[in-house]
Chains A and B, each alone.
Chain A
Amino acid sequence: MKSLKAQQHPLSKIEYELEVLDTPINGLSFADKLADSNLFPLSPTQIDILQINMGKMCNQVCKHCHVDAGPDRKEIMTRETMLMILEVIKKGGIKTVDLTGGAPEMNPEFRWFIEEVRKISSEVHIIVRCNLTIILANPKYHDLPEFYKKHHIEVVSSLPYFTAVKTDSQRGDGVFDKSIKALKMLNEIGYGSEGSDLQLNLVYNPAGAFLPASQEGLELEFKKRLKNSYDITFNSLYTITNLPISRFLEYLLRSENYDSYMEKLLDAYNPVAAANVMCRNTISVGWDGYLYDCDFNQMLELKVASPTSQHIADWNQKSLLEREIIVKQHCFGCTAGAGSSCGGATA
C-alpha cells in the first residue's frame, strides 16, 4: 500500500481536505460547540509538552494513519532543526518531550537527539511513540529496547487489539506477531512489569467508524488477554479516537461512513473533554521546525496563530501562550465521549 501522497490522491491536497472538513455537521461547527461551553476562543493553559514529529518515514502503512506515513515518505527532521529544539528545552519549562513520526527511530539523528536531551536534563520526561515492528525491522534496531531503558524513556505503542486479525487489518499483515515479539523483548528488560518504573503503555484505537470503548474496562480486558495468551504485561492502555483526517478520512468517505461518523462525534461532544484537550498544554513541532497546536493541525498544515513565533527558530513562549488555538471540525474527535488525546481519555 502506498501513501495518499504517492498515490496522488485528492485527499493528499490539504486544500481539498480542509474543504471537506469545513462543512458544518447538522449546521454546527466545533467553534459553536466550544462557544456553548464558554471555551471559545480556545486558549492554552501552559506549554508542558513538546511533541516532535521526527519525520513521516515509517516501515508500516497503517490504514488509519493521520500522518499518511510510510516507506515512500522522505520528509525527515534534520540535526539543524533538532539543535533549535534543544535550545528551547535548555530554556526550561518543558516537562515532556514526546517523539513521534512516522517511525521516529528511522530518523538517523534519533539517538543523538535523545542523548542531547539527556545531557540537558535527566528530569525531562521522554516519550517515544514506537510502532513496535521497527525493533525487528532491521538488525540495527534490535537494541532499541536497551537504548530506551538506558535513557529512561516511556514507550507508547499502538496495538489496536489483542488478536492478529483486527490488528493486521488496520496495521498490515504480520504486524501483530511482530508486535508481540517486540513487546516480549521490552518485557524481558523490565518494561511494563509491575513495580518497574520503565513505562510501557499501549494505544487502542478503533479499527473502523466507531468510538473507542471505556479505557478502564478495555485495559483490564487487554491485560487479561495479553497475559493469558502471550505472557505479556504492560502499564496502561490509552484509548484514542480516530480523527477524520488523512487516511482515516479517506476511509470514511470511501465507505460512506463520513456523515454518520461526524454526527456520532458531534452527538458525543463532552464539554469536560473539551476543557482538557491536549492542545492546551502542548506544542507540536513539524519535521521542518514549524509549530502547530497539535499533531493533527500539523498534518493539516495549520500553523499556530502566533505570527511572530511560527517556527522553532523564533520560539517565543509569551506569544505562544497568548495565541488562539485553531479549531476545525476534526477537533470533534478529541472531545467525543470520554475524550481523546495522545495520553488517552481526558474526561
Chain B
Amino acid sequence: MKTYYNPEDLKKFGKIGDFQKSMADKFFDYYGEVFQEGALTAREKSLIALAVAHAIQCPYCIDAYTVDTMEKGCDEEQMMEAVHVAAAIRGGASLVHSTQMMSKVKEISM
C-alpha cells in the first residue's frame, strides 16, 4: 500500500544533496555540529530533538530520535517526559492565545 510516509525514505535523507549539493553539505555539516557535545550533552540534545520531533509531528524524526535517545542511554520515562514538555508547550501555546480571546470579549462586551 502506498503512503505519503515511507520509513525506508529516512535512509535516503543524505541523498538530498543529489539535487542541490552545496546547500545539503552546509546543512549536514551544521546538523552534525549541532548534535555534538557542547554546553549541552549529546544526550540532552537528543531528548530535545525527540520533543521537537513530536511538536512538529515528523514521523522520520520520531523514529530517528527514539532510537537515538535509547542509544544515548535514556529510558522510557525520560523519553515520555520529553514528549510531555513538547505537549505542554504546544498546549500552552494554544491556551496563552486565549488571553487575546479574553481581551476581545471584553472589548466588545458591555
Interface residues of A (CB under 8 A from B): 161, 163, 165-166, 204, 206, 208, 210-214, 217-218, 221
In the bound complex, CA of A165 to CA of B75 (Å): 10
In the bound complex, CA of A328 to CA of B67 (Å): 26
In the bound complex, CA of A166 to CA of B75 (Å): 8
Q: Is there contact, CB below 8 Å, between A213 and B72? A: yes
A-contact 0/1 string along B8-26, CB 8 Å cutoff:
0000000000000000000
Partner of B43, one of A165, A210, A217: A217
Residue in A closest to B70 when the chains form the complex, CB atoms: A210
Can you sample 8 A-B contacts with CB below 8 Å?
Answer: A163-B75, A206-B71, A210-B67, A210-B71, A211-B71, A212-B73, A213-B72, A217-B42
**B3 at interface, CB cutoff 8 A:** no
A-contact 0/1 string along B72-92, CB 8 Å cutoff:
110111000000000000000
Interface residues of B (CB under 8 A from A): 41-43, 67, 70-73, 75-77
Q: Is there contact, CB below 8 Å, between B72 and A214? A: yes
Q: Is there contact, CB below 8 Å, between B70 and A208? A: yes
Q: How many A-B residue pairs have CB under 8 A?
A: 29
Q: Which residues of A contact B43 (CB under 8 A)?
A: 213, 217
Q: Given A214-B42, A217-B41, verify A206-B70 contact (CB < 8 Å).
A: yes
In the bound complex, CA of A218 to CA of B78 (Å): 14
Chain A contact residues, majority secondary structure? loop
Q: Is there contact, CB below 8 Å, between B75 and A221? A: no
Q: Which residues of A contact B42 (CB under 8 A)?
A: 214, 217
Q: Which residues of B contact A217 (CB under 8 A)?
A: 41-43, 72-73
Q: Which residues of A contact B71 (CB under 8 A)?
A: 206, 210-213
Shortest distance between the CB of A258 and any CB in chain B (Å): 16
Shortest distance between the CB of A328 and any CB in chain B (Å): 24
In the bound complex, CA of A163 to CA of B78 (Å): 12
In the bound complex, CA of A214 to CA of B43 (Å): 9
Q: Which residues of A contact B77 (CB under 8 A)?
A: 163
Shortest distance between the CB of A158 and any CB in chain B (Å): 15
In the bound complex, CA of A214 to CA of B42 (Å): 10
In the bound complex, CA of A211 to CA of B77 (Å): 19
User: Can you list the 10 inter-chain pairs with the closest CB atoms, starting with the nearest?
Assistant: A213-B73, A218-B73, A211-B71, A210-B70, A213-B72, A210-B71, A210-B67, A213-B71, A221-B73, A217-B43
